[in-house]
Amino acid sequence: MPTADPAAVLSKVFGHAGFRPGQREVVDVLLAGRPALAVFPTGGGKSLCYQLPALLLDGLTLVVSPLIALMKDQVEVLVSRGVAAARLDSTLEAAEAGAIHDRMADGSLRLLYVAPERLANEGFLQKLRRTRLAMLAIDEAHCISEWGHNFRPDYLKLANLARELGVERVLALTATATPKVAADIRGAFGIREADHVRTGFRRPNLSYRVTPCAAGERKGLLLSRLRELPAGSAAVVYVTLQRTAEEVAGFLEKNGLRARAYHAGLADDWRARVQDDFMAGAVDIVVATIAFGMGIDKADVRAVFHYNLPKSLENYAQESGRAGRDGKPSVCEILACGDDRIVLENFVYGDTPSGRAVRSLVEHVLLQGERFSVSRHDLSAAKDIRPLVVATALTYLELKGVIESTGPFYAGYQVRFLRPEDKILAGHTSDRQRFLRSVFGAAKQGRTWLTIDVDEVGARIGEPPERIRRALNYLVDLGDVAAKPSGLRHGYRLAEGGPREVSGIAAELGELFARRESGEIERLGLAIGYCETGGCLTRRLLAYFGEEMDGDCGDCGNCRDGNGAKSLPCGLPDELSADRVAAMRTLADEGHASLRQPRQLARFLCGISSPATTRERLNRDDRFGLLEEVPFLTVLAQAESMGLR
């Protein structure tokens, strides 16, 4: 057991005079060699719970985080404090990654941050197997739970991987875990209930408000709220759609406020500029989709407004929690309009594949042979299933013992010599020289780059594709060539003795997606119920996360105004008019290949893109989104009644 004093390390390395609530309890559990779950609110100091023990334990602490920006920021801060920390992500050059691998091998690295997808790389796993892993820290741990609000398929395999790698202790961290999700996490990693440390979600400086309003009132209402803040106050406005972010930010700018839009559709450098300007105070207001805020630590955000309804109370707690991290009074307000429900529901329904698509995917996997590989992108397009849903399906087939992963690889490379070819070859044996010459000779010659289709070149020269990949990666590591990989594929083999019956497997997968769909819809309903409650908003939010208050907060909008329960204004139709039904029949009769199934047609009409409609450019059709304000299930029921199959 480590003998150094955690409090001394806290002061010397991190510059803190004392621990925040819950931190010391988590550190003590880990130093005692047991796994732990830390459920702290946003800004509650979760990262220190693994950073400090990492300096007291023998071996490497591996931190799994889905956020590249957060990894980058934390590593920079740690290195500035003299901590041997690094990150491995897709932005690094091969030489940088190689240097990190060397530090793993010689034991000089204490903390390594990776994305969960990195753990599907067999080459990286081999390096981990040769490394003493003192701890595995899993940020955003709710992503492993089927009942969590931000499920990621790669998280599902972490518990099995921790056991396989012989990790000495695990720390799971999240800001948003309901009692059900927390129990799921504890079960996955064998965490005792006594080692589940929860500090409480209550932040007395945050004042929660809900203002029911019609869609046409929101811009003016938001403008008045922002003008009520002291001049120069930082605020975040959350919206659902990218186009809404642009519209609202433009409206605020025209009215004299320093506002900018932020969403995933913007160029990376522009998003970075908006973020930097906001952090520096050059921009006061960011109007953003949920793409903004993860890993952003700006202490003086005075207000967080939800222009659109949040899709769950977990999302709301996380997003509103970005206000008032400096402890000063801050406002968290939802401008609640019932019209938003349709768009949010449609996002959920759009992710659920049809039963026929699921069966087709299972058949494809089982008929590939004992060993095979797939491109998730190509499979997504062929089966009209979104890429993340394809990844989820393949992950569940692994967990159900149908297939086993053999790791990802690239189908092709573009290669550029960094030294003359004869000098590159000179350091190798005659057999290796002949092999490399044959690889280079079979490649497609360009002015600067060689293009190598690994399977095609392997067939031409009679060599296994894997030998070619290993050789190219080795030359990259030596600094002899630069390489740009392409065509990511994931390798699998059929699990020995695993199930093979297509109907049963497809039915099980279909039930999984149906459960996820109903769970997301239920979470949305609870968020709407929160907006309609007449009771204390703080108390209602805390109760959702399993925390009871002795009395009302006295400071939220409901406590101050004393209003009763309210229903949200909604001006959208629940039924289809005769002319719209006729438009649906006309579209169905046109026989588009990607609109033959009821769910496909309903998605198109509700404005939900799919791989097939994108490929066929049907999203440009004037009828795309024709019924976007109608409930998806209403449109789906009509499509099913039209005899589509």
For 279-304, write each residue's pLDDT tens digit: 999 999 999 998 676 556 788 999 99
Q: Is the pLDDT of residue 23 over 90?
A: yes
pLDDT tens-digit series, residues 109-136: 999 999 888 887 777 888 899 999 999 9
- Residue 148's pLDDT is what? 61
Name which of 253, 213, 374, 238 is nearest 312 in CA terms.
Answer: 238
Q: What is the DSSP track for 233-262?
A: -EEEEE-SSHHHHHHHHHHHHHTT--EEEE
Instruction: Return the sign of the alpha-carbon dihedral for residues 277, 279, 280, 284.
Output: positive
Check if the beta carbon of residue 476 is closer than 8 Å to that of residue 94: yes
- DSSP conformation class of 334: E
Among 85-94, 537-546, 601-610, name the most confident range.
537-546
Q: How far is CA 609 from CA 350, 383, 585, 591, in A?
A: 8, 14, 20, 18
Instruction: Return the sign of the alpha-carbon dihedral for residues 241, 247, 253, 256.
Output: negative
**Over the chain, what is the mean pLDDT?**
90
For residue 488, the SS3 value is: strand
What's the CA gap between 7 and 171, in Å, rounded?
Answer: 19
Check if the beta carbon of residue 627 is closer than 8 Å to that of residue 580: yes
Structure tokens at 520: 């997301």
Q: Percent of the chain at pLDDT above 70?
A: 97
- Residue 405's pLDDT is what? 87
For residue 92, the SS3 value is: coil
- Residue 591's pLDDT is what? 82
Longest dimension (CA), the chain: 86
Contacting residues for 494 by C-beta, under 8 A, at least 6 apart: 366, 369, 370, 371, 402, 403, 404, 500
What's the CA gap between 116 and 207, in Å, rounded?
Answer: 35
For the segment 264-280, the average pLDDT, to the nearest whole number, is 89
Q: Is the pLDDT of residue 67 over 90?
A: no
Q: What is the DSSP track for 386-432?
A: -HHHHHHHHHHHHHTTSEEEEEEEEEEEEEEESS-HHHHHHTS-HHH
pLDDT-derived band at 474 (thresholds 50, 70, 90) equals confident
Name which of 379, 391, 368 is nearest 509 in CA terms.
Answer: 391
pLDDT-derived band at 216 (thresholds 50, 70, 90) equals very high
**The listed CATH number (3.30.70.890, 3.40.50.300, 1.10.3720.10, 3.30.70.100) that belongs to domain 6-198:** 3.40.50.300
Q: Is the pLDDT of residue 146 over 70?
A: no
Least confident of 410-414, 539-543, 613-617: 613-617
Q: DSSP 3-state helix, strand, coil percentages of the chain (rounded to 5)?
A: 50, 15, 35
> What's the one-letter identity of residue 603?
R
Q: How far is CA 141 from CA 16, 46, 116, 154, 182, in A?
A: 26, 12, 11, 11, 9
For the segment 224-246, the average pLDDT, to the nearest whole number, is 95
Check if the beta carbon of residue 294 is closer than 8 Å to that of residue 275: no
For the segment 595-622, the average pLDDT, to the nearest whole number, is 89
For the segment 247-267, the average pLDDT, to the nearest whole number, is 95
For the segment 29-41, the average pLDDT, to the nearest whole number, is 95
Q: Buried b / exposed e across 312-325, counting CB within 10 Å, b at 16+?
A: bbbbbbbbbbbbbb
Q: What is the DSSP track for 177-188?
A: --HHHHHHHHHH
Q: Is the pLDDT of residue 195 over 50?
A: yes
Of 562 and 552, the one with more pLDDT: 552
Q: What angle do CA 518, 520, 524 make, to 5 degrees?
A: 115
pLDDT-derived band at 351 (thresholds 50, 70, 90) equals confident
What's the CA gap between 599 and 348, in Å, rounded?
Answer: 13
Q: Is the pLDDT of residue 580 over 60?
A: yes
What's the CA gap between 230 and 44, in Å, rounded?
Answer: 26
What's the CA gap between 440 and 437, in Å, rounded?
Answer: 5
Question: If 0-12 CB within 10 Å is exposed, 13-18 middle and 19+ buried, where does residue 167 land?
Answer: buried
Structure tokens at 476: 């990259």
Q: H or E segment at 581?
A: helix 578-589
Residue 295 main-chain phi, psi, to 5 deg: 85, 0
pLDDT tens-digit series, residues 422-434: 999 998 999 999 9
Architecture of the domain delimited by 206-337: 3-Layer(aba) Sandwich (3.40)
For residue 141, the SS3 value is: helix
pLDDT tens-digit series, residues 495-518: 999 899 999 999 999 998 999 899
Q: Is the pLDDT of residue 143 over 70?
A: yes
- Residue 1's pLDDT is what? 44
What's the CA gap between 34 and 28, in Å, rounded?
Answer: 9
Name which of 159, 169, 190, 161 is nearest 60 in CA terms.
Answer: 169
Of 257 and 564, the one with more pLDDT: 257
What's the CA gap between 356 and 594, in Å, rounded?
Answer: 13
Total length of the chain = 645
What's the CA gap between 613 and 594, in Å, rounded?
Answer: 6
Q: Is the pLDDT of residue 321 over 70?
A: yes
Name which of 514, 527, 139 is nearest 315 in CA terms.
Answer: 527
